[in-house]
Each structure stands twice: as C-alpha cells, then as structure tokens.
Amino acid sequence: MSERPTVIAIEGLTKRFGEITAVDAVDLDLRENEFFALLGPSGCGKTTLLRMIAGFTGPDAGRILLDGRDMTPVRPNRRPVNLMFQSYALFPHMTVTQNIAYGLEMEGCGRDEIRRRVGEMLEMTELSPLKDRKPEHLSGGQRQRVALARALVKRPRVLLLDEPLGALDKKLREQMQLELKRMQHEVGITFVIVTHDQEEALVMADRIAVLKDGRVMQVGAPRELYEYPASRFVAGFIGKMNFFAGQGRGAEVAFGDGVLTGTAPGGVELAGPAVAAVRPERLRLAPQRPEGSLNAVPGRIVDIAYHGQDLNVHVEVRGAVDSAGGEAGARVLVRLPAGEAEEGDWQAGQDVWCCWAPAHTRVLAM
C-alpha cells in the first residue's frame, strides 16, 4: 500500500478556536485510491480537519497540498474535493435527479453529459426508481445514497465523508459500511471518512489515523493499529484491551510479584509507570500457574457470559486497569473460543491464572 502516490499532503496543519486548539500540527499523507479513516472521540478535531480539507475552515498554520498544489487560497467551490455532510444537506426543493445534477451544472457540463453521468450515478446507487422524488419522500438510507451520488458524480480527487452512517440504524449501518467500501473500490477515488466508531473504521478503512485532542496519535492499517498500538490511548480506543499497570523497565512491566514481558513500540526503553496491554482473545485460563515463559497473573472469576461463538470470562485481578483507564482491582476480560472451552470448565468464584504469550503483549507508557 505504501507505494501508492500521495494525493493530499497535510503539513503542520493547525487550527485554534479561541483557547482551544482543535487541530494541532497535523501531518498526514492521503494516498491515491485508498479508504482512509479519521478516527477519534468527539472533540478530537476530526471534523475540523475534514472541513479544512474541503476549504470551509482556514488554517492558522500549516498547509494542505493537493497534487502538490497549495490549497490554502483556494475557495471550496474551486477545490477538486467534495464533502458529504453529516446532515446530508440535500437541497429540499430539488428532486433526486436535480440534486445530483447540480454539481455538474455548476461545472458548466453540457446537457447530454449531465444526463449521462447522472444516469450512471442513479444506476450505481440504485436510485433510479426514486429519481423524481424530493428528499422529504426518501428514507434515511436513501437520502444518504443521494448525498453520496451528488458528491461522487463530480468525480472529485478526494471524497470527504463526515460521519456518513451516523444517522442510520445499526442494521442499515453495517450494510452501508460494506456498500461504501464496494463503491470506493468501484470508482477508484480516495475516500476520507470521519468517524468516532472504531469498529466502523476497522471494517471499512485501508488506513486509519487515530486522533486525540487535535493530534494524530497513530496512523496505520487496521491490523497494525489493533496488534501494535503505539500508545496507551490507541490501545484502549481500538477494540477491547486489558491493561496491567506497574513499573516499566525496558520492555517489561513489574506486576504483582512477577514481571510481564512484551514488546515496546519502536523499541523504546521504558522507565517509569507503564502498562502491559493484551487483547481478550489472546488470554487463556489455567487452574495453576503455568510453567515456562508465559506471562501470568492470578485472579478470581467473577462472571461468565456465553456469547455464541465465544465465552466471555471476567476475572478480577488485583492491580489491573480496565480499558476505560482507571482504578485498580478492575476486571480482566478473557475471551475463550466456545469450541475450546466446555461449559462447566470454569465457574464463578474459582481462582485461576490468566496467561498469555509475551509476543501478544504491548508494553506502553502510562
């Protein structure tokens, strides 16, 4: 993926609103034909960043290069990028066809070309039967497709999507995640999506930038972020994670009576408070302390929940920190494949050892 050429280069981009720095010296490369997600909790600056790429918000410092050209002085209507608004912002007085044709009319396309390209778009988004309807007579999912078609018909260099699935119900959202991915593939245009939903980003994106307080915490493929988080924040924000807090030494964390071994990002030598992080599905349970080099911590089972394909076992471990980040004595989540663990193997109240391989352990600064 790294060999794809850059479309948009963001360099030291900063935006302040009064006291708050919404976007703080962000550097990012958006590449040709990729599905890129800006992921972060609300207020992390992801929407501001998107609006700056679209041109609706000007930077206080830094710049955005599109195909090498500085976009700073270029008005939104002159940028070869299109934004799909969170509210969809369809023109309520126009039909579906008129909404989609609008952008082409503004470009000064000929009537025949407009008809052809709008027709193609209606076809691709399966909106043909609804083409003469006004937005008020469309469902949420249909409006979303009109908004998408209206932006895509312009064949932008980059399509920006601001929480595109936020207004849809869960079932439709999951269906649209795959459909958006399919469409991105079909049109070969770079999609940049803003979302606070880490699952959505994992499912759809080729690469994800995790943002917090206006800063980019980490950029990488979903798997990279999931398996090798570079910070405590990313580890906790993406997926479920168990944390064991202690004193860090190199790639080890002193925990309880023993030491938990893992890998630290970029081979950084840690000294000071740190956590050993491990995914619930990497943990196994044992009645006794296992022999060998496995990491192991003792605890007591407090709850077992059957989830069909797996069994979620909650173990109370003194000194563990839950993924929300906090108090000691929190619960550790162990996810056992249902095929591996028979019902009745484990009981609430039982004393057990949670164990896992050092290879699956990330050692991160507190």
Binding site for other proteins (CB under 8 A): 54, 56, 75-78, 82-83, 85-93, 102-103, 106-107, 134-136, 143, 150-151, 154
Q: Residues with Cβ < 8 Å from 160, sequence gap 6 or more?
A: 50, 53, 54, 81, 82, 83, 84, 192, 194
In angstroms, give the least distance from the CB of 306 to other proteins: 42
The span from the CA of 358 to the CA of 292, in Å, is 11
- Residue with Cβ nearer other proteins (90 or 313): 90
In angstroms, give the least distance from the CB of 66 to other proteins: 15
- Residue with Cβ nearer other proteins (15 or 143): 143
In angstroms, give the least distance from the CB of 360 to other proteins: 45
- Residue with Cβ nearer other proteins (145 or 150): 150
The alpha carbons of the chain give a radius of gyration, in whole angstroms, of: 24
- Residue with Cβ nearer other proteins (105 or 303): 105
In angstroms, give the least distance from the CB of 17 to other proteins: 14
- Residue with Cβ nearer other proteins (80 or 250): 80
In angstroms, give the least distance from the CB of 135 to other proteins: 5
- Residue with Cβ nearer other proteins (82 or 218): 82
In angstroms, give the least distance from the CB of 27 to other proteins: 25
